[in-house]
Amino acid sequence: MMPESAKRSDVPRSGWQLYLSLPVLVWALYDFANTIFTSNIITIFFPFYLQETLGGSEKLDQVASTFITYTNALASLFLVLLTPLYGVLIDRTGRKKPFLLPLTLLCIGSTLLMGAASYWQTGLTVAGIPLPLAMVLILFMFSKFFYNSSLVFYDAMISDLGSEKELPLISGYGVAIGYFGTLVGLAVYPFIGDSGFHRSFIPSALMFLIFSLPLFLLYKEGPGKQAPAGPKPSFFSGYREIWQTFKEARSYRAVFLFMIAYFFFNDAVATAIAVMGVYAKTVIGFSTGQFILLYLVSTVSSIIGSFLFGYVTRSVGSKQAVGAVAVIMIVSIALASLTANQGLFWTAGSLYGISMGAMWVTSRTMIVELTPEAKRGQFFGLFAFSGKVSSIVGPFLYGTITLTMADYGNLASRLALGSLIVLVLIGLAVHLRVPYTHKK
């Protein structure tokens, strides 16, 4: 862990001195590891597995899209119930790693079981769904739940890694390194090809484990906080603290407004991540190989956007940077939902890659800038709570549109994707009202 003297220094460390310091490097490598899970499982191969298993016509492709978005929404529903309490744990104990490690292992274990269930051959069904498919759906929801739970503790670690002036660069560095994980994760594709996408589940889980080990083994966290005298409060009593923090957040006008804006921004991000693979294949007509190549290009764009917006955020401030990212996101979604031209869809994918990487960088930095240090864990928990609620609303909206308009074929997916523009516009309108003073 970084010495307090270094954290208080007004002179930020130079780029490589900062990036190669052990705490920052192993923290960023965890982003590398968990991005393998998000790209391989959430974005690419789990949706492709469902489309392969359930699809076959334009109408059935819409049904597959609904399954994808509804399973993501249901996983987020459980996250809504527990995520706020994680922030309370951080503030009570001052610790993150002891919670991050088991949650990560539970995610990896659930993903391994997904892979095992997908190989199971049986004629048994549950509510008309083949039992192996039902188990894969349930295990996916568990793995996503544990993954997103771990992110609350991982994101909160950033405030221990450097001074306020260094945080935008650390945030951008972590996101950029994370997107390199996408490139490594896609190394499984040549061994899978254009069918049998379930074969990616177990290798992806193992890569997540391997690249998480540096953080597990080498990251040294401080001793934490001394527990106060008296009876120890129960874990669920944290809901009272969360409610109190929520009321306090209302008195912190800037934090409260940004939390609302972040809700709508994350709506679009979470939904697009879940559906982009199936949308590209079923609506635009991409082959699996073409989409993988598009995903690689958009990943490189995300890496560039993450590094670039780390410096943009430091230069112009996080509020202006978040606003610029939202505009890029609107343009990319509009292009993707309106075009039938594959060339323009490549442009949309690249722009969305930039905006997706930059949104994590700029919003995470803005949360740190706007929140009081003593309650930063609870505020991170609240923002994670906001993100998880939006991860229900966005996918549920998309899935409901594709389900109710399934008879219209691909038009349903275009309208569902276009609806995300409205969400980003609402978020941008609220974001512009956030009181903010850039500290140069």
* Residue 54 covered by a domain: yes
Domain membership flag for residue 59: yes
Residue corresponding to tokens 């960088």: 361
Q: Which residue has the higher pLDDT, 273 or 201?
A: 201
Taking the alpha carbons at both ends of the chain, their separation in whole angstroms is 26
Q: Evaluate whether residue 440 is within a structural domain.
A: no
Q: What band does 233 get if pLDDT is binned at 50, 70 and 90?
A: low
Most confident listed range (159-163, 289-293, 404-408):
289-293
Rg, the chain, Cα only: 21
Helices (H), 280-341: 288-316, 318-338
Report yes or no on 301 lying in a domain: yes
Instruction: Please give the pLDDT value at position 178.
Output: 82
Report residue 58's pLDDT band, with 50, 70 and 90 as the boundaries: low
To 10 degrees, the CA torsion angle through 95, 99, 104, 107?
A: -150
Max distance between CA atoms of the chain, in angstroms, equals 66
Contact between 107 and 37 under an 8 Å Cβ cutoff? The reply is: yes
Q: Domain total for the chain? A: 1
pLDDT in the model for residue 4: 42
Whole-angstrom distance, CA of residue 439 vs CA of residue 15: 20
- 15, part of any domain: no
Per the structure, the complete domain to which residue 317 belongs is given by: 27-220+238-431
Whether 225 maps to a domain, the answer reads no
Q: So what's the pLDDT on residue 107? A: 96
pLDDT reading at 39 higher than 50: yes
Residue 103 lies in a domain: yes
- CATH number of the structural domain spanning residue 123: 1.20.1250.20
What was the pLDDT predicted at 270? Answer: 79
Residue 14, domain member (yes or no): no
User: Would you say residue 255 has pLDDT above 90?
Assistant: no
pLDDT at 30: 94
